[in-house]
C-alpha cells in the first residue's frame, strides 16, 4: 500500500467532496486519509483511539487542515503537528486566525475559494508544491 500523502481534516461535507474530487480528477495525490474533526485528527496523528493500530509509516506527508472544527479546533491540532507540514485551508479571513496559525507553526494559510475553478486551482497548487516540489525533513 502506498504512503499517505495527505491527511485532510474537514467537517464540511460539501468542501470535503469538492477537494477530494479535485485531487482525484487531477491525479494530485494517490492516498488521502480523511478525518472529520480535530479529536479524530489527533487520534490519527498520535496512533490512539481508532487509529491505535497505525504505524509510523502511516504518517502523512502533509496535513490539509480546516480551522473551524468540532471537538478540537484546527488551531489546537496545529499546536501538536510540528513534524508534518500543515496547510491551513479555511474560509476564515480573520487576521487573528491567520496570525495565530503562523505563530503555532502553520507552513501556509490558504483561504478556501468559493468559486469552483479557483478552488480547483488552489488545491492543485497546494498539492503540487507540498507533494511534488517540497522536500520534507528526513525521518
pLDDT grade for 30, boundaries at 50, 70 and 90: confident
pLDDT (0 to 100) of residue 4:
84
Q: How many angstroms separate the CA atoms of 24 and 4, rounded?
A: 14
User: Any idea where the domains of the chain sit in the sequence?
Assistant: 6-133
Average confidence (pLDDT) over 49-72: 91
H or E element in which residue 33 lies = strand 32-35
CATH architecture of 6-133: 3-Layer(aba) Sandwich (3.40)
Mode of pairing for the β-strands spanning 62-65 and 6-9: parallel
Contact 45, 65 (CB under 8 A): no
Share of the chain above pLDDT 70, in %: 98
Residue 139 has pLDDT above 70, yes or no: no
Alpha helices of 1-139 — where are they, by DSSP H?
Answer: 13-25, 38-45, 74-78, 95-103, 116-127
Nearest to 62 by CA among 40, 32, 42: 32
Amino acid at each position: 500500500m502506498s504512503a499517505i500523502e495527505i491527511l485532510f481534516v474537514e467537517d464540511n461535507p460539501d468542501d470535503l467532496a469538492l477537494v477530494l474530487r479535485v485531487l482525484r480528477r487531477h491525479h494530485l495525490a494517490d492516498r488521502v486519509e480523511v478525518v472529520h474533526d480535530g479529536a479524530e485528527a489527533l487520534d490519527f496523528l498520535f496512533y490512539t483511539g481508532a487509529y491505535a493500530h497505525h504505524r509510523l509509516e502511516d504518517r502523512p506527508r502533509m496535513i490539509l487542515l480546516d480551522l473551524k472544527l468540532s471537538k478540537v479546533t484546527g488551531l489546537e491540532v496545529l499546536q501538536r503537528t510540528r513534524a508534518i507540514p500543515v496547510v491551513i485551508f479555511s474560509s476564515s479571513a480573520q487576521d487573528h486566525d491567520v496570525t495565530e496559525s503562523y505563530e503555532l507553526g502553520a507552513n501556509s494559510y490558504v483561504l478556501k475559494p468559493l468559486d469552483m475553478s479557483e478552488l480547483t486551482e488552489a488545491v492543485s497548487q497546494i498539492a503540487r508544491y507540498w507533494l511534488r516540489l517540497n522536500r520534507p525533513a528526513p525521518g
